[in-house]
Amino acid sequence: MAVPIEALFVKNRLPSGPSLLFILLYTPLGIVIFLLRLFVSLQLFLAASVLPYNTVIRSVVLRVLYVILGLVVREESVEKRDKSCCVITTNHITPFDHLAVSIVLPCITPSVYDLPAALSMLLCYRDLGVTQGREILRTNARTYLSDSRNPPLLMHPEGATTSGTLALMKYGSWAFELSGSVLVAGLRVWRIPLLQIAPSVLGASWAADLCYMLFSPVTVFTVRYIGEMRRGESETPEEYGARVQAATAAALGVQATNHTVADKVEYMKRLAREAAASSNPLLSPEVHIMAQQVQEVLPHISLDQIKRDIVRTQNVDLTITNFLEGNIPEPIPEPQPLSPSPAASTGQMSLPSSSSSSSSTSITKATTVQPSTSLGGAAAASVSKATLETSTSLTSPLKQTSSLNTAADSFGKSAAERMTSFQTRKEQLIQNARRKYLEKHGLQLPESC
């Protein structure tokens, strides 16, 4: 059964349930231990810098100091350890795996950090040009291995950390192009069951992992030697790496997968997108897709306004109805005409061509009514002003709906006729929009429509 990529990593540093209670009770003591170990770490660096490299006394002193820091290393199948191999491969669980291996088997690992030379030597790092490209790394690694006096080169072919409890990621082939034989080993990390603090979690920095290691009572690294493995005569580096991966997985009791570092990076990006979508629903891909469906029916509505209503309704049909009927918290932007009318730039009103002459005559007559025709002076002026405002407000809807073939045949002479025409064209717009949406998505048109 294939192991999903998310099963290879731990997302939460602290456990849930009763175990969390034990961690809370331990916290005051853990803070005291953390501060004491910070002071001891200074002694560790001083001892490592003074004592000669690759000597027994240095190894013993470092091992004692690491135990004080809570880092304990155990060895299994020591009889399979071959010190003649110049390349060592292990799986990758924490950023401090190379320190644990270097305690029992002096070695160095390519550095991915820009550290001073002295500090890199103390942390068992060597700058081989990892950040400069794969070819430069191969060249520098071969140059380093050509000197037999240098300690072995420790490689993590997985290329990234995993939980190490369920499966291993695919081993990269470049690590097996450097030498025809490698010493294969597997790593396990153990902590007290009552204080199950994850050694490393997805996306955590090495500083966070270091702080939690100093906070925890003890962190036990178990190095299990699998033995020397040589590359076959007709075996490619990919096949050689797959064979080493299978042997390591079998020794650790886990599965071997084809997931790569690129898969882990893509998984982390997906988690980041989901976290952003949960904090801001407007960024959700589902909301974006639904908003695009609404905009296909109502292209004059902005996508941002549609998304706000989609977040509220979670329904495409309901959002379309809300915009058509005006049941939205924000005003609906009115669609612009295809080309501006020359009269609009001079402050004059323009009407559809089919009724421009008759409507202009009606408006002119309405605005030039003499006060003495039917009403008294003030009343007549009020009626004339109201008639002019009504006529002006109707020109915009007529302009909007002309492009949708819902323009009236003639401009109503009375307010009642114009209101009836307006309601008829509004209903026709709603029916056209609903019918277009139903036809586009292959839905059955209800009889009421």
CATH number assigned to the domain comprising residue 286:
1.10.8.10
Question: CB count, 10 Å around CB of 39?
Answer: 8
| Residues 144 and 194 occupy one common structural domain | yes
Angstrom distance (rounded) from CA 291 to CA 83: 64
pLDDT in tens, the chain (449 residues): 678 898 999 989 988 878 888 999 999 999 999 999 988 878 777 777 777 766 777 777 777 888 888 889 999 999 998 888 889 999 999 999 998 898 888 888 988 877 777 677 777 888 888 778 778 888 888 888 888 888 889 999 998 999 989 999 999 888 888 887 899 999 999 999 888 899 999 988 888 998 999 999 999 999 999 999 998 888 898 999 999 999 999 999 999 999 999 999 999 988 888 777 777 777 777 888 888 888 888 888 888 888 888 888 888 888 888 888 777 755 544 455 444 444 444 444 444 444 444 444 443 333 343 433 333 444 444 434 444 444 444 444 433 433 455 666 666 667 777 778 778 878 888 888 888 877 777 766 555 44
- Most distant CA pair in the chain, distance: 121
In a domain, 93, yes or no: yes
What's the pLDDT score for residue 53?
66
Number of domains in the chain: 3
| Residues 221 and 311 occupy one common structural domain | no
Helices (H), 130-205: 134-145
| Residues 306 and 184 occupy one common structural domain | no
Containing structural domain, residue 311: 280-333
Helices (H), 51-133: 56-68, 97-104, 117-122
Tokens of 111: 């550095």
In a domain, 349, yes or no: no
| Residues 112 and 226 occupy one common structural domain | yes
| Residues 78 and 102 occupy one common structural domain | yes
Angstrom distance (rounded) from CA 423 to CA 429: 10
Tokens of 272: 């980041």
Type of residue numbered 167:
A
In a domain, 347, yes or no: no
Type of residue numbered 19:
S
What's the pLDDT score for residue 1?
60
3-state helix, strand, coil in the chain (%, to 5): 55, 10, 35
In a domain, 167, yes or no: yes
In a domain, 376, yes or no: no
pTM score, two decimals? 0.63
In a domain, 354, yes or no: no
